[in-house]
Structure 1
């Protein structure tokens, strides 16, 4: 398979975009989305009762991984054969690249998390799953703040 300089540049660019695009917004207690900034949150204090390590699944929407993989696979496939064989190889390369890109994106965005069960000072028991930030783990007995309302809770020190 012969790939010219323009194809090498395109493949390099697409892979760079894929790696950059796989970055996932943090799911930990000190990370905020733009729509959360400036919104009032309730604050409650409590003690951690138990902590369970969990894995937070990677992104499965596949937009970046599939798209980039399909382009790279299509370019690679287009270098094979000639005529209708080249067209078929381009399609097969694009499909295979898309599937591979989606799996790479999912693996790259998988995160380590914790399920943190907290007894609030009010006596209520809550459980929050969030990403581990900078290898800072919560432990049973820790005194913590629980921020947010309803489904949008965060645990911080």
Structure 2
């Protein structure tokens, strides 16, 4: 029974992870659209953490279910009911934190001195490394801009 609960929790938490928002990954609506391309030189690069998107609730629900199951196996009578409730609450809180942490991403804030003279900063997932002095391209479309080599 306990092994099954662990497998269910692991499956639920794996489902919480969102795919990375890579500068190399395009969503379907971004294909076959024109992008404005600007060029420039990297001025500076700073490591940042990209906060998780709004949570799905799967971590909270999965944790609460498993916590309730674990709490239900302790005690008897009114004590069992109390440990079931406490286990569900604690499991829900832990599951929420796990989902939140699983969806955090390492990112880069890249400041670029454009050839036009403008200075801009773009934040994106850290899937490609940039160094000051490098020549880069900025691709913009629909309010979204990404930096690439």
Q: If the length of structure 1 is used for normalisation, what is the TM-score? A: 0.82
> d(CA) in 2 for partners of 1:151 and 1:140?
25
**Could you tell me how far apart the structure 2 residues matched to 1:74 and 1:38 are?**
49
11, 14, 27: which one pairs with 2:9? Answer: 14
Alignment-derived partner of residue 120 in structure 1: 114
TM-aligned CA deviation for residue 103 of structure 1: 1.3
TM-score normalised by the chain length of structure 2: 0.86
Task: Output one character per residue of 1:126-151: Cα deviation in whole Å (capped at 9) or x when no partner.
Answer: 10111111xx3111111111112364
Q: Distance in 1 between matches of 2:86 and 2:136?
A: 53
| 1:9-88 pair list within 5 angstroms | 9-18=4-13, 20-59=14-53, 61=55, 63-88=57-82
CA distance in structure 1 between the aligned counterparts of 2:79 and 2:56, rounded to whole angstroms = 28
Is there any run of 5+ residues in structure 2 with no aligned partner, and where? none
- Partners of 2:20 and 2:105 within 8 A in 1: no
1:100-138 deviations in Å (ceiling 9; x for gaps): 1111222222222111011222222210111111xx311
Bigger drift between 64-73 and 51-60 goes to 51-60
The answer for unaligned runs of 5 or more in structure 1 is: none
Q: Give SS of 1:16's match.
A: helix
Structure with a larger share of its residues in strand: 2
- Determine the structure 1 residue equivalent to 2:94: 100
Equivalent positions of 1:127-142 (< 5 A) are: 127-133=121-127, 136-142=128-134
Shift in Å, 1:67: 1.6
- Mapped contact 2:60–2:92 kept (Cα < 8 A): yes
Q: How large is the Cα RMSD of the aligned pairs?
A: 2.0
Cα gap change, 1:154 to 1:9, in 2 (>3 Å): same
